[in-house]
């Protein structure tokens, strides 16, 4: 549970925008990822001192979107 999910989440945002024409939804996902990064809510590869699991980061993104 240490993999960084942010690239996968951003790929889903691209799918929403480019594949499904859901630009507003895509922008919400990207905004949530940006906010997570700004808050330091990241996995161990991005911060060895203070980090969260893959699941926790994914849950945080969902919370920020919702």
Percent of the chain with pLDDT over 70: 100
Question: Tokens representing 58?
Answer: 């994914």
Q: How many CA atoms lie within 13 A of 27 on its CB side?
A: 4
* pLDDT score for 33: 98
What pLDDT digit, counting tens, does each position of 1-30 carry? 999 999 999 999 999 999 999 999 999 999
* pLDDT score for 25: 98
Find the mean pLDDT for residues 39-65: 97
As a whole number of angstroms, the distance between CA 41 and CA 45 comes to 12
């Amino acid at each position: 549970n240490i993999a960084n999910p942010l690239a996968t989440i951003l790929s889903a945002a691209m799918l929403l925008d480019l594949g499904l024409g859901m630009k507003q939804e895509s922008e919400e996902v990207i905004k949530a990822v940006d906010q997570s990064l700004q808050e330091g809510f990241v996995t161990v590869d991005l911060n060895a001192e203070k980090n969260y699991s893959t699941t926790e980061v994914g849950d945080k993104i969902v919370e920020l979107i919702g």
